[in-house]
Structure 1
């Protein structure tokens, strides 16, 4: 039955290729990706909130303190258990970084299990109180939808990449009900270089995902009434922008520190215990850390400024303004650790949502604190929204996404000028200290990041040594002589010969000019073994080295070809500048077609 269905689908696809051009077919698939992406977003939001409400409803408040200690631990444990029992040999990654890596290094291929695995693990993690966001998992799930649909129909790299971006767009659009921000997210984060035709599929997927998600799950993320902004407040928006920019630098560096720390813990269940218990204790002290944290932001937008303290151990001091202010600042920094512990401890989620929450808390703390001085009265909700936009812009290096996302999800288009100022300044401050965003730093350090600012270096970094390795060389043994291998030497199309022992280890090389000289001149000593005649190569390439280092070795000694060995010094072949240049040209052509 399955084989019959596959044959039928293959027949339909062949007919489609004859009748419909890929350019037009992409539009059709963009509709499909948008609908499926919207369904996935609605499913994730609905499942997460169902788990959260089931755990919290009908439970008396004084019992919840104890439950807060174990719920996050259970959620992270279930997420790890799912990965180890159901995915097993496959890998479940989280965040936006793996999506970018798939575009750079894996021909935009994303494993099909990510379509559902991202939804299951993130819903369990966040539904049980994990302090992370759902946006990165749904973007990953949407990207997997687009990638696998494109691959199923046998599309090219650029077309699969286009559908992958449509999937990510659909995920963000469906999660936030923000079609414009979803499209801009894909352009800023995933499609660094684009042309006008790219907009059409992205617009279609984004719009359809927003429609489908709104039909199935209509509850808005935030709701607030914005009356406008005052010109007199511009100076304070500028100060907020600087504070947000500095905070995003702190968060980016803390993220790397926590990731390295958890990376040293090898047993995944030890990570679960450490992160789960730590998170439970943090939530016990700061209940606003439970789950995504959007509820706390909404309460602040509604004018309930004491809500962040109200359900905590310090609830009796909720009417003392400086307690509210200090507690908010502590919650802000605790949120950064809570989110990072959730993600690195084994739970699934992203820093997209936590960035919004942290930015909102900082915006609230700033405006609320200034108002207490009596110097001026700032519109607190406006500063909360500006803080969210600034944090997203700084952490993700995506100012346009931050601006339009906040404008769409809050209906605050009248705040465009403050949002633009805060987001752009925060972005430039973070960019000045952190060349790469929290998503791209690791990829940049490993040479796996596509960067259009340095195209030559980017194209070279995209190459894999194993794909340009040349092996059609005549191998000479150390105990042999030129006379014994005369025929092979003469008929070889190569001018260099590796000398390899019985264990496969490279002993040296010898060039054809030297061998011909020996064979034609008796005085040279035709009976000398290759062990004696072997020459030391200018350098040796290890199979694990990246192409930037390979080209550096070649340029340093001005050589055209170098031998390649493995970690045991066993001969694998040669890499030449000719093969590098040919691969470079093919990659340039591929990039030229990338987003036509």
Structure 2
């Protein structure tokens, strides 16, 4: 027993001596193998990608199951609609809209107020928290609408579901707002990538539209999430492209001017589409009907249009494929009749989508926009051929370029439109005219309607994103939201002086924010301002935070770039500067450590100075 004890002592002394001689090497080894935040974010992005791919599968199964229950027939919605008589085409979208509206109204009332479900609002003016129950209600309502013929796309719900699941993971882990915003963007990227089998487009969508930032520490996780989601989705749905268009080699400059004109037409159509959506939303709000009644009225309108144009049912995927293949040309003996049909189809789909979205039907507009672009491009191509012009250019080429151009005009993102058109068609031969037309369509669309389909809801709330700038390299600059953390635990304006004192005893901060019942920042209480009340008597109980607080200090917003926040950072005496959602509402959503933000700016200045040398 004693021999064993002495052996243990010798072993312990040996290990201590070894550690004392090599402790620096051990510390270096530990630092080398410590997981960096960038690597941790990549691992989280991969997890979010898996969730996004599974969300796509779950939504597909849900919509197909509801479609079977409602229609008792498999297959594409348009093919099913064409088999029904006119009165069935009228009744089914109306009844489906009634069910979707009731689910939405009663479901949201049941779960109560949970905050905004708008992706851009939560990122640009919030802390990255999406409410799970509200989003699930909206996803269920969307699935019911899509399954019964509403003119909306499925991609919107998949993107929201992926982003919400990612945000919820971060909320469960109690991670800070900057990581929640990144997770939310990864979820959005995964959702779009899985829905369209388009990993690059998913990452670009999240970087440019959701975050407004292409810095590599953000873009790398977005790429990882998109790739994983795409591969997961491909394991269920395969790798076939969405649309097929014959290859065509552009070898002469004289072939391109026609696509400049098409880009102008697409820009006008995109602006008209956005303006119509806004007017429809305004009209439905003025009518004052309950939400379920508005959605039902829209479903009835879609059904009425479908009595003569059954092709308006659903997101329009199959009809877009027919237009690209020029299948409708064989159904009409003359070119004039074909142009009349395509023109009527374009107006019918435009009206059906405006009715559905304007009334509040939950769903995306991306795929219906592709329908509109394909119809416009086909009309343009057949019109030129009827005049004896551009005879060597196939109509399918005009249709595909029209699809991308209208997407660019409505999203104000030519890069996203170009990439997604390539990924869903896998046709590189049409890239030159597509790039040209998308650029022109974006310029025309922005001139006629400054807000995009994604920023219009924020503009109506008074939230101007302000992400675009003429400064070179600004897309890679960090924003306040990239550094934002949870806010300093606030006080209510009715907090007593004793409660304030107890909070200061356990807080390292010399300033505590004061908010009202809605979370709006009313002011701050400074520790030094309490000195005058140390010798107070019984009247101490009557003093509350509203009596001793200072006015709100200069605050930051999540979408501000760090260089724009420099004056506030330099002038503030607070260790943690409050971040509010926007100056109009002033709701406290986070804080930024002043020292960390100034350090980031100093590093950026040093890097620029070093680069110039």
Normalised TM-score (structure 1): 0.71
Residue 287 of structure 1 corresponds to which residue in structure 2? 310
Identify which range, 425-434 or 578-587, moves more after superposition: 578-587
- Whether the aligned pair in 1 keeps the contact of 2:153 and 2:363 (CA below 8 Å) is yes
Q: 1:398, 1:140 → 2: CA distance?
A: 20
Shift of 1:402: 0.6
> Which of residues 267, 282, 293 in structure 2 aligns to 1:245?
267
In structure 2, the CA distance between the partners of 1:246 and 1:44, relative to structure 1 (3 Å rule), is same
Residue 35 of structure 1 corresponds to which residue in structure 2? 50
- Whether the aligned pair in 2 keeps the contact of 1:76 and 1:342 (CA below 8 Å) is no
- Whether the aligned pair in 2 keeps the contact of 1:132 and 1:350 (CA below 8 Å) is yes
Residue 225 of structure 1 corresponds to which residue in structure 2? 246
1:545-573 deviation line (CA, Å, top 9, x unaligned): x999xxxxxxxxxxxxxxxxxxxxxxxxx
Residue 406 of structure 2 corresponds to which residue in structure 1? 391
Tell me whether 1:57 sits opposite 2:110 in the alignment: no
Q: 1:278, 1:359 → 2: CA distance?
A: 22
Q: 1:60, 1:134 → 2: CA distance?
A: 18
Residue 300 of structure 1 corresponds to which residue in structure 2? 323
Shift of 1:19: 7.0
Residue 539 of structure 2 corresponds to which residue in structure 1? none
Residue 15 of structure 1 corresponds to which residue in structure 2? none
Tell me whether 1:102 sits opposite 2:122 in the alignment: yes
Aligned pairs for 1:245-264 (under 5 A) are 245-264=267-286
Residue 381 of structure 1 corresponds to which residue in structure 2? 396
Aligned with 1:469: secondary structure? Answer: strand
Aligned pairs for 1:90-129 (under 5 A) are 90=111, 98-113=118-133, 116-129=136-149
Aligned with 2:85: secondary structure? Answer: helix
Structure 1: which 5+ residue stretches go unaligned? Answer: 1-17, 311-317, 474-487, 494-501, 510-539, 549-575
In structure 2, the CA distance between the partners of 1:171 and 1:62, relative to structure 1 (3 Å rule), is closer
> Which of residues 326, 343, 356 in structure 1 aligns to 2:370?
356
Q: 1:188, 1:85 → 2: CA distance?
A: 35
- Whether the aligned pair in 2 keeps the contact of 1:31 and 1:205 (CA below 8 Å) is yes
- Whether the aligned pair in 2 keeps the contact of 1:114 and 1:141 (CA below 8 Å) is no
Shift of 1:91: 6.9
Q: 1:301, 1:172 → 2: CA distance?
A: 23
Q: 2:521, 2:259 → 1: CA distance?
A: 53
Shift of 1:50: 5.0
- Whether the aligned pair in 1 keeps the contact of 2:45 and 2:225 (CA below 8 Å) is yes
> Which of residues 202, 206, 213 in structure 1 aligns to 2:222?
202
- Whether the aligned pair in 1 keeps the contact of 2:556 and 2:577 (CA below 8 Å) is no
Residue 578 of structure 2 corresponds to which residue in structure 1? 583
- Whether the aligned pair in 2 keeps the contact of 1:355 and 1:392 (CA below 8 Å) is yes
Q: 2:277, 2:195 → 1: CA distance?
A: 24
Residue 517 of structure 1 corresponds to which residue in structure 2? none
Q: 2:262, 2:289 → 1: CA distance?
A: 40
* Matched residue count: 480
Aligned with 1:418: secondary structure? Answer: helix
1:82-115 deviation line (CA, Å, top 9, x unaligned): 2234442447999x98100011223011011256
Aligned with 1:470: secondary structure? Answer: strand
Aligned pairs for 1:33-182 (under 5 A) are 33-52=48-67, 55=71, 57=73, 63-90=84-111, 98-113=118-133, 116-182=136-202
> Which of residues 520, 523, 526 in structure 2 aligns to 1:470?
523
Residue 258 of structure 2 corresponds to which residue in structure 1? 236
Aligned with 2:48: secondary structure? Answer: helix
Shift of 1:229: 3.4
Identify which range, 198-207 or 250-259, moves more after superposition: 198-207
In structure 2, the CA distance between the partners of 1:272 and 1:229, relative to structure 1 (3 Å rule), is same
Tell me whether 1:333 sits opposite 2:347 in the alignment: yes
- Whether the aligned pair in 1 keeps the contact of 2:81 and 2:313 (CA below 8 Å) is no
1:54-104 deviation line (CA, Å, top 9, x unaligned): 72738796643221111211222221222234442447999x981000112
1:7-31 deviation line (CA, Å, top 9, x unaligned): xxxxxxxxxxx97554332211111
> Which of residues 386, 391, 403 in structure 2 aligns to 1:372?
386
In structure 2, the CA distance between the partners of 1:472 and 1:238, relative to structure 1 (3 Å rule), is closer
Shift of 1:403: 0.5
In structure 2, the CA distance between the partners of 1:403 and 1:591, relative to structure 1 (3 Å rule), is farther
Structure 2: which 5+ residue stretches go unaligned? Answer: 1-32, 75-79, 488-514, 535-541, 558-570, 581-590, 605-613
